[in-house]
Structure 1
């Protein structure tokens, strides 16, 4: 009887999913554009269908709202309309909804889908597709994925989830799965998804080469092409569109809303992370949740700087260990990340860390809802710009799987960030909103004997090299 209920649940899902997908893939009768990760996964699916690859177990970790479900729906749509896969052979299972049925065994549902509902495909080794959304609501999702991968060679399976630490560090899935982290949008992705402006990934590659190889020629060429063929198509000032992006454009779920609605949506997202996602890490008490709300607001409203656990613990009247646990939990959801001081491992563990929001949109929403943004708009945009540059560097390191460190210098009047390359070279990066000078970058270059330094500024309209300092426009850098 219990299996019959599960079977009926799955049959109902298979029936309603096509309409669910259709309702969430377009706006004003136009389908959403694709992110690059869609094409990566599509290629893997095509190879799987040709039986040319065994890459059939993927994990998509990422912060809430970054578009993981949309990518899954686009793959579903592709399978039906381009690969002519039967509807009953594609299972989209949202564990956030399934958990409302009570305690569940994920493997039971997948076994029923594979061996019962699709018995013929199972016996004939024909392809099946399983997309598991909100995987963090299953305590053993990784073990289930391992079993499906090992026992069913005809199944292509994807897990998504917002508990990034859990999805990235699982031992059960580590040797079998491939990970595709989904991050907030960079400026190029924003222009593509919202305004249908196609910008080649070459711009990101050329920014990377500029940072690490002191090579500006490729970036100069790509930047000029974008200025002529993308920026000139807008009737509005592109700087205004960039300001729209840094405050409201990090999440695809924010599109087609007014600014007030975006702020509320972002705050609701933050609340959902605290109320739901953190509970998948440990059982949070009401007091702990209140402390988490306070901590996030403190992080959002302070100027970027070292975070003293001692001062925080004193101000919030809780232990340093509790603060540390909350910060670790928040980092696992990817709402925040940290940058350590440059120096030895002992120093980095001893000295305070700096914390930034993965999406500047989250910081902006909290700032605006607290009526802080209007006090000094220049300072507000400068704080958001530093957060954005930190986030882009952090995402670049993780997406490209590059072996370099991102640090800050404890000394005052030095660059905001220090890139430490694998061969031990230091590349200082300064974020200068509202100004364009070389004082702080020069201080860092002299201190670490750097060959060159980089200033990211809104006062620079195109990439310029002044002796050993590269000036990069914020708009350009935002495409990293």
Structure 2
């Protein structure tokens, strides 16, 4: 690796970052701590680094203190872990001060965690991003030795999406004309998702398709040496189509074999792990099941509605539940479950006493009765402090059999 290339990259980034325009996101970091930011591609991890750098500059730091390397820069894509020390070495040959180090998409370099550990041991301040959940694994966490705080970055929330479109909400926004703007803008967010780079494109579907192909090929097929790419692609389509339903690995195997794909259960389990690691999907367990059963049958959701919508026909019902799942998973993580034993409830958070059904509309009496009765049945053997039915646009309060159920439109529920 030529030093002149690294030095040019450092200089270019110092000039670029100080001038880049961005929409500030909520970013709370402990002083003097080192961070690893992970999440799906294009969720905004790099711009979080830019935002922090601009905060440092406003606080009086000089741009020469910034050492920023993007490991997807084609000039250094072949850098090896044995050469990573050249980054700091090149910086020290250019500047006399100690750098604040930003390493973007460093997971492309195998063994990166040893370099990151050494930087922390040298008491340097370091910020890292990556698009692979393996960066949160026990193995890497052990290597880093507690020197870094881990933080997941999600696509834009609906409030962030509104802020991007210059919509400011006050305490009385539901009574003001801005309410109509919220409902109108929600449609775009609902169908196209919250990946911020897509907002500026007229043909959002084409951009999302390109991103999906990049994730599938670069972050999954190449990184994991997947030989049966056709089966992997088919699995993603089947997961999208069954986003409302619990799916056992055996069931997925039968579906794929029915379409002519000869894959084992072990291969499907591996593929699901790869999809998780690339932040394409996340999964929920059945709260009622034993631990082995929880691992075998899960509900699978996509991290972004826009990517999910690439695979759907008449997508509204699935997009609605997927969007609710994203919001709840961001808030509750592994404490979020679905419930399925004699009664089906879409989401339960036992620790919070929260139970949620998702229904696009409650105008059909059969649908209405099914959703209400499921929550009432669950309340008889699980303490429910809050029962919700999240709809597309209906709102009311239902009191039945001692249970108070609030029906709330999703665009309202998403806004705090």
TM range (shorter): 0.7 to 0.9
User: Is residue 2:24 matched to residue 1:34?
Assistant: yes
1:430: which partner in 2?
357
Cα offset for 1:366?
Answer: 2.8
User: Is residue 2:406 matched to residue 1:470?
Assistant: yes
Map 1:166-181; keep pairs closer than 5 Å. 166-167=135-136, 169=138, 170=140, 171-181=142-152
1:196: which partner in 2?
166
For residues 24-73 of structure 1, what are the alpha-carbon distances to aligned partners after superposition, in whole Å with 9 as ceiling and x for unaligned? x33xxxxx321102xx14xx4xx4xxxxxx42x10100101111112222
**Distance across 1 between alignment mates of 2:153 and 2:291:** 32
**Cα gap change, 1:438 to 1:34, in 2 (>3 Å):** farther
**Distance across 1 between alignment mates of 2:77 and 2:149:** 29
Cα offset for 1:115?
Answer: 4.0
**Which residue, 12, 16, 28 being the options, matches 1:16?**
12
2:304: which partner in 1?
359
SS at match of 2:255: helix
Cα offset for 1:431?
Answer: 0.5
Query: CA contact under 8 A between 2:38 and 2:129: conserved in structure 1?
Result: yes
**Which residue, 301, 313, 325 being the options, matches 1:390?**
325
User: Is residue 2:411 matched to residue 1:441?
Assistant: no
Identify the range of structure 1 (327-336 vs 436-445) with the bigger mean alpha-carbon deviation: 436-445
1:50: which partner in 2?
none
Cα offset for 1:262?
Answer: 1.1
Q: TM-score w.r.t. structure 1 length?
A: 0.76
1:162: which partner in 2?
131
For residues 455-475 of structure 1, what are the alpha-carbon distances to aligned partners after superposition, in whole Å with 9 as ceiling and x for unaligned? 1112335x7464511222211
**Cα gap change, 1:272 to 1:291, in 2 (>3 Å):** same
Query: CA contact under 8 A between 2:80 and 2:110: conserved in structure 1?
Result: no
Q: TM-score w.r.t. structure 2 length?
A: 0.86
**Cα gap change, 1:440 to 1:113, in 2 (>3 Å):** same
For residues 267-315 of structure 1, what are the alpha-carbon distances to aligned partners after superposition, in whole Å with 9 as ceiling and x for unaligned? 1111111111125742222xx2222222112222335212223323423
Structure with the higher helix share, 1 or 2: 1
Query: CA contact under 8 A between 1:91 and 1:131: conserved in structure 2?
Result: yes
For residues 208-246 of structure 1, what are the alpha-carbon distances to aligned partners after superposition, in whole Å with 9 as ceiling and x for unaligned? xxxxxxxxxxxxxx8x533246xx237x55323111111
1:301: which partner in 2?
241
**Which residue, 187, 192, 207 being the options, matches 2:158?**
187
**Distance across 1 between alignment mates of 2:114 and 2:168:** 40
User: Is residue 2:165 matched to residue 1:225?
Assistant: no
Give unpaired runs (5+ residues) of structure 2: none
**Cα gap change, 1:421 to 1:12, in 2 (>3 Å):** same
Q: CA RMSD in A?
A: 2.6
User: Is residue 2:201 matched to residue 1:257?
Assistant: yes
Query: CA contact under 8 A between 1:79 and 1:85: conserved in structure 2?
Result: yes
Give unpaired runs (5+ residues) of structure 1: 27-31, 48-53, 123-127, 200-221, 374-379
**Which residue, 81, 102, 126 being the options, matches 1:131?**
102
Q: How many residues align?
A: 398
